[in-house]
């Protein structure tokens, strides 16, 4: 089916089209349909995206968009030079004709300046453009004086007030009676984000998905792709504070659409079941009316899983979930609405919500890594700090969420305000939790533990050894944070038989095995290792058929596996036996390499890290030392 450019049905779009045509008239060859690449600067106060429909009418006056040899791109003040040049090459560079619309304050890279034929300024909408748009689109005739009077009022008020059935003088009178700080009736205030999604840090795959969605929504809006090619549903998971709501706001801003929010708690607050369902439907209807829009459902796991409902509220809860599914299904036929759910507990969501065609995209937002944490701090401080200025704060911010970092920067700015001076790195340090140094006996203990993981993992060739580290300090607020780790790169695709899982258990238990060899007993720092090993041993018995029975169990969550162990004594005994056997195997491996264990431990205590190359050197030195000892004994 032919894809035609979007009609100029809105008076605002037509007025912007008039101002764009006027600017292009300064380059007649292009204005008359000739080849060329033109950069147009939007006037101050106008976003580049506002000119999208106008630009497509210039580029594709009557032909099929998919067949036309024309390109179009936006350039705002947040885009980096490399991204601008890459996008120009893919969107415009190979085309015969193209238009770039830039924000008034956007920096134009030298590469773009030499690539385009000319740079032109678009004038703000004036009385002439307004009169033409009103006459053509709204069938309203007005004098130049009336048009000038209308343009004195906020444009967002003016465009919604101008309607075919209204007289111009009545519109002017209505605008005069409306306070300027009052949002126009029927137009909710657009979502605001502290930064564009493109400039935000710590969102990984979610950010990639969001930027692609922004491009897809734009291409759908101008008729390049059908709605079926746009991702219509996403569930964001992750611990509290990682910024799921902030992401939704930034995404709406990036896409240039309205953000509409809702949650089960918000809908239930209105009353009984009928009121809850009515409130839910009203939110979805609001999103449909505002399309294109993003509908954000917070804590979507609170709807629950119908298969786990208790009998006393099963009917009520089932009806609520069914109503949600009905509304999400309806979105497929309501073009322009993307539904995003957020959750801290993905396992509590009804599988039907995640079914293909509904919210079928699942992305986890993890805690930001060290470089992302520093970038987030720099973005919040807004005081010219670079990543290198804040490098010393990587350890102090370990395990902190985006919300934690925002709180710390607020406190730093408060300290600076009270001192009546600019904020400093020291202000940020004071605002972060105190640090506890890892030294002495504790450093030795952690080094022994991580050496055990390193050597057993390497001996069993359970993945590719990538390195081992121990930290110099941990936050006093988060003393449960890991003091170190041994890293192994595991293949995504492998044959996982019983021996594979037994090796995995042995590696997990090798930390406490090393402690027992060196200290005579292990401490509580290996609890998470023991929990993971117990989980795998239970799955071998209950789900994978690799134990005492081939019986398969659907249990997969930790709570379900714990119940299996509690109520099946024989299974619990087999799990215990597997754990004990692999614990002893790990101790045997480490006892055989006791000299190497001590050398690796000393390396970690002194250097704080161990590379694969350094491990190979220590292994070679240990082998040479063992050979020399054997020669002396034989002599």
Please identify every residue annotated as catalytic.
450
Positive or negative, the Cα torsion across 285, 290, 293, 298?
negative
Residues with Cβ < 8 Å from 2, sequence gap 6 or more? 64, 66
Pairwise CA distance, residues 512 & 497, whole Å: 25
Q: Where are the alpha helices (DSSP H) in 204-263?
A: 204-221, 244-255
Contacts of 192 (CB under 8 A, 6+ apart): 249, 253
CA angle at 265 for the pair 297 and 323, rounded to the nearest 5°: 65
Alpha-helix runs per DSSP H in 60-143: 81-88, 110-115, 127-137
Instruction: Provide the b/e sequence for 418-436 (b: ≥16 CB within 10 Å).
Output: eeeeebbbebbbebbbebe
Contacts of 346 (CB under 8 A, 6+ apart): 235, 237, 301, 362, 364
Q: Across 31-117, where does the E strand assignment appear?
A: 36-41, 70-75, 97-102
Q: Which segments of 472-611 does DSSP mark as H helices, in order?
A: 498-519, 527-542, 558-567, 569-592, 594-607
Instruction: Look up residue 122 and give its DSSP letter.
Output: P
**Phi, psi for 564 (deg, rounded to 5):** -60, -45
Rounded distance between C-alpha atoms, residue 516 and residue 461, angstroms: 23
Per the CB < 8 A criterion, the answer to whether 272 and 318 are in contact is: no
Of the candidates 476, 462, 452, 339, the residue with the CA atom closest to the CA atom of residue 400: 476
User: How far is 348 from 300, CA to CA, in rounded Å?
Assistant: 9
Q: How far apart are CA 405 and CA 413, in angstroms?
A: 12
* Whole-angstrom distance, CA of residue 254 vs CA of residue 218: 11
* Residue 224: alpha-carbon gap to chain centroid: 26
The two structure tokens encoding residue 280: 């839910």
Check: CB of residue 396 under 8 Å from CB of residue 432. yes
Q: Cα torsion at 494, 498, 502, 508 (round to 10°)?
A: 50
93: DSSP letter: I
Q: Is the dihedral of CA 437, 438, 442, 443 positive or negative?
A: negative
Say if CB 218 and CB 388 are below 8 A apart.
no
The Cα angle at residue 343 between residues 342 and 347, in degrees rounded to 5: 135
d(CA 118, CA 486): 57
- Give the tokens for residue 368: 């930001």
Contact (CB, 8 A) for 285 and 260: no
CA gyration radius for the chain?
32
């Amino acid at each position: 089916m032919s894809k035609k450019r979007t009609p100029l049905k809105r008076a605002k779009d037509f007025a912007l089209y008039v101002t764009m045509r006027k600017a292009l008239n300064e380059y007649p060859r292009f204005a008359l349909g000739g080849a060329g690449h033109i950069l147009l600067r939007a006037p101050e106060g106008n976003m580049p995206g506002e000119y999208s429909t106008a630009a497509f009418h210039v580029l594709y006056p009557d032909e099929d968009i998919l067949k036309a040899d024309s390109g179009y791109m936006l350039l705002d003040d947040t885009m980096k030079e490399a991204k601008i040049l890459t996008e120009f090459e893919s969107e415009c560079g190979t085309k015969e004709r193209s238009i770039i619309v830039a924000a008034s304050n956007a920096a134009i890279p030298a590469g773009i300046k030499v690539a385009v034929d000319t740079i032109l300024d678009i004038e703000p909408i004036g009385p002439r453009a307004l009169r033409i748009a009103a006459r053509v689109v709204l069938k309203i005739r007005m004098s130049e004086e009336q048009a000038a009077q209308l343009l004195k009022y906020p444009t967002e008020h003016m465009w919604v007030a101008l309607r075919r059935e209204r007289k111009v003088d009545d519109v002017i009178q209505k605008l005069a009676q409306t306070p300027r700080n009052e949002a126009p009736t029927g137009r909710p205030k657009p979502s605001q984000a502290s930064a564009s999604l493109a400039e935000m840090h710590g969102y990984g795959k979610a950010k990639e998905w969001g930027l692609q969605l922004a491009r897809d929504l734009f291409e759908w809006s101008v008729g390049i792709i059908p709605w079926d090619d746009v991702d219509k549903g996403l569930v964001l998971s992750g611990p509290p504070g990682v910024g799921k709501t902030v992401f939704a706001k930034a995404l709406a801003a990036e896409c240039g659409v309205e953000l509409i929010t809702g949650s089960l708690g918000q809908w239930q607050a209105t009353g009984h079941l009928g009121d809850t369902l009515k409130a839910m439907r009203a939110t979805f209807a609001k999103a449909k009316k505002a399309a294109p829009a993003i509908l954000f459902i917070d804590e979507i796991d609170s709807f629950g899983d119908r298969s786990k409902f208790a009998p006393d509220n099963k009917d009520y809860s089932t009806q609520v979930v069914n109503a949600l599914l009905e509304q999400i299904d309806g979105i497929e036929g309501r073009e322009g609405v993307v539904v995003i759910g957020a959750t801290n507990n993905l396992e509590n969501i009804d599988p039907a919500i995640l079914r293909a065609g509904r919210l079928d995209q699942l992305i986890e937002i993890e805690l930001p890594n060290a470089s992302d944490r520093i970038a987030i701090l720099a973005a919040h401080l807004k005081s010219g700090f670079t990543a290198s200025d804040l490098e010393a704060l990587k350890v102090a911010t370990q395990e902190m969420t985006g919300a934690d970092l925002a709180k710390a920067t607020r406190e730093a700015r408060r300290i600076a305000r009270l001192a009546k001076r600019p904020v400093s790195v020291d202000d940020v340090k004071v605002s972060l939790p105190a640090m506890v140094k890892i030294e002495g006996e504790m450093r030795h203990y952690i080094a022994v533990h991580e050496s055990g993981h390193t050597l057993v993992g390497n001996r069993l060739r359970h993945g590719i050894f990538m390195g081992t580290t121990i930290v110099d300090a941990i936050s006093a607020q988060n003393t449960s944070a890991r003091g170190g780790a041994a890293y192994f790169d595991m293949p995504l695709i492998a044959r996982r038989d019983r021996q594979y899982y037994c090796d995995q258990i042995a590696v997990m238990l090798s930390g406490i095995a090393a402690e027992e060899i060196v200290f005579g007993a292990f401490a509580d720092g290996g609890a998470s290792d023991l929990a993971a090993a117990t989980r795998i041993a239970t799955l071998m018995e209950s789900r994978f058929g690799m134990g005492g029975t081939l019986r398969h169990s659907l249990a997969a969550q930790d709570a379900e596996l714990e119940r299996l162990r509690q109520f099946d004594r024989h299974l619990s005994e087999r799990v215990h036996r597997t754990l004990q056997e692999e614990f002893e195997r790990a101790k045997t491996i480490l006892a055989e390499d006791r000299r190497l264990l001590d050398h690796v431990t000393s390396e970690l205590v002194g250097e704080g890290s161990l590379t694969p190359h350094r491990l190979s050197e220590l292994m070679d030195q240990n082998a040479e030392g063992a050979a020399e000892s054997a020669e002396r004994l034989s002599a």
